[in-house]
Structures are given as structure tokens and as C-alpha cells.
Amino acid sequence: METKTVSIPGISCGHCRKTIEAELADVAGVKHVAVDVAAKTAHIEWEKPADWTGIASVLEEIGYPAEVAPGAAVESDAKH
């Protein structure tokens, strides 16, 4: 399972939250999405076949592009 918390500056209301959560829930492999309207962030958990590039593309397509801090890494709980 991989996770990422990202900034989404375009979030401004409950409708934004519902839209983001519903659209990402339709992405194969996305397991959990929690949007915090006040903080303008989304915490996303996924596993294959989903990947961050595809998730970011969906956010862009629906008008809520994510901003990731430079050098921020996807967290993974995969065991090596």
C-alpha cells in the first residue's frame, strides 16, 4: 500500500470534497481518500494497478490539481 498527502489549493467546500473523493474512488486500486477542506489537503492510499501519475492525472482532469512538495516521496509499507 502506498500513501501520499498532497495540497489541493482549489478545494473550497464540501462539494469539492465529495467530487474528489468520488472520482478517486473510481480509480482501480485506490483504497482510501480523505479530503480536509479546511487544510486544503487530500490523503490518498492506493495499491496496484493505481499509481501516483494516474491519480494526479485524474485530479488534474477534474480541476483540482495536486501540489506536491519538491522531493516529497510516496510512502510505501511494502516489505523488502
Specify the pLDDT at position 7.
94
Specify the pLDDT at position 28.
95
Strands (E), 1-80: 2-7, 30-36, 41-46, 75-76
DSSP 67: B
Show the low-confidence residues of the chain (pLDDT under 70).
69-80
Specify the pLDDT at position 68.
77
Specify the pLDDT at position 42.
94
Taking alpha carbons only, the member of 12, 71, 66 closest to residue 38 is: 12
Specify the pLDDT at position 78.
53
Three cell numbers written together for 66: 495536486
Taking alpha carbons only, the member of 66, 34, 31, 32 closest to residue 48 is: 31
- Which residues fall within 8 angstroms of residue 49, CB to CB, at 6 or more apart? 28, 29
- Which residues fall within 8 angstroms of residue 12, CB to CB, at 6 or more apart? 37
Show the domains of the chain with their CATH numbers. 2-69 (3.30.70.100)
